Amino acid sequence: MNFEDLGLGPEIVQAVTERGYVTPTPIQEQAIPHILMMRDVLGLAQTGTGKTAGFTLPMIEILSGGRARARMPRSLILSPTRELAAQIAENFDVYGKYHKLSKALLVGGESMGDQIKLLERGVDVLIATPGRLLDLFDRGNILLSDIKILVIDEADRMLDMGFIPDIEKIVSKVPPQRQTLLFSATMPPEIKRLADKFLSNPRTVSVAAAASPAETVTQSLVWVREREKREALDALIQAEDVKNAFIFCNRKTEVDALAKWLSNRNYAAAPMHGDMVQTLRTKTLLDFKEGEVTLLVCSDVAARGLDVSKVSHVFNYDVPMHPDDYVHRIGRTGRAGQSGRSWMLATPDDDKYVNAIESLIKKAIQVEKIEGFEAPPPGEKSTEGRGERGGRRESGGGRGRGDRDRGGRNRGGEGHRGNDRPRGGESRGNERRPERHDDRPRRDPQQQPQPVIDRAERPERTERPPQRSDRNERFTPRRDSQSRPEQRQSRPRPREDDDSGPSGFGDDLPGFLKR
pLDDT over threshold 70, residue 256 = yes
Segments of 48-148 assigned E as strands: 75-78, 103-106, 125-128
Distance, CA of 165 to chain centre: 17
Question: So what's the pLDDT on residue 362?
Answer: 87
Characterize the bridge pairing of strands 41-44 and 179-184.
parallel
Instruction: Say if residue 141's pLDDT is above 70.
Output: yes
pTM: 0.62
pLDDT digits (tens, 9 = 90+) for 453-469: 444 445 555 555 555 54
pLDDT > 70? residue 414: no
Mean pLDDT of the chain, nearest integer: 79
Nearest to 78 by CA among 42, 125, 45, 127: 127
Among 8-12, 338-342, 492-496, which is the least confidently predicted range?
A: 492-496
Q: What does residue 368 show for φ and ψ, rounded to 5 degrees?
A: -120, 165
Q: Which residues contact 281 (CB under 8 A, 6 or more apart)?
A: 82, 83, 109, 272
Region of poorest pLDDT, from 102-106, 124-128, 329-333:
329-333
User: Domain spans of the chain?
Assistant: 3-206, 217-368
Q: Which one is predicted more confidently, 2 or 160? A: 2
Fold of 3-206: Rossmann fold (3.40.50)
pLDDT band at 446 (very low <50, low <70, confident <90, very high): low
Predicted confidence (pLDDT) per residue in 25-62, tens digit: 889 999 999 999 999 999 987 766 788 999 999 999 99
More confident residue, 15 or 310: 15
Q: How far apart are CA 141 and CA 435, in angstroms?
A: 80
Q: What CATH number does domain 217-368 carry, 2.10.25.10, 3.30.750.210, 3.40.50.300, 3.40.50.720?
A: 3.40.50.300
Residue 65: what pLDDT?
83
Same fold across 3-206 and 217-368: yes
Judged by average pLDDT, the poorest of 30-39, 95-104, 300-309, 358-367 is 300-309
Categorize the per-residue pLDDT at 191 as very low, low, confident or very high, splitting at 50, 70 and 90: confident
Residue 511: Cβ within 10 Å count? 6
Determine which of 44-48, 277-281, 351-355, 396-400 has the lowest per-residue pLDDT on average: 396-400
Q: Which of 219-228, 440-449, 468-477 has the lowest mean pLDDT?
A: 468-477
Give the residue with greater pLDDT, 351 vs 374: 351
Candidate from 286-290, 395-399, 445-449, 495-499 with smallest mean pLDDT: 395-399
- 3-state DSSP assignment of residue 260: helix
pLDDT at 387: 41
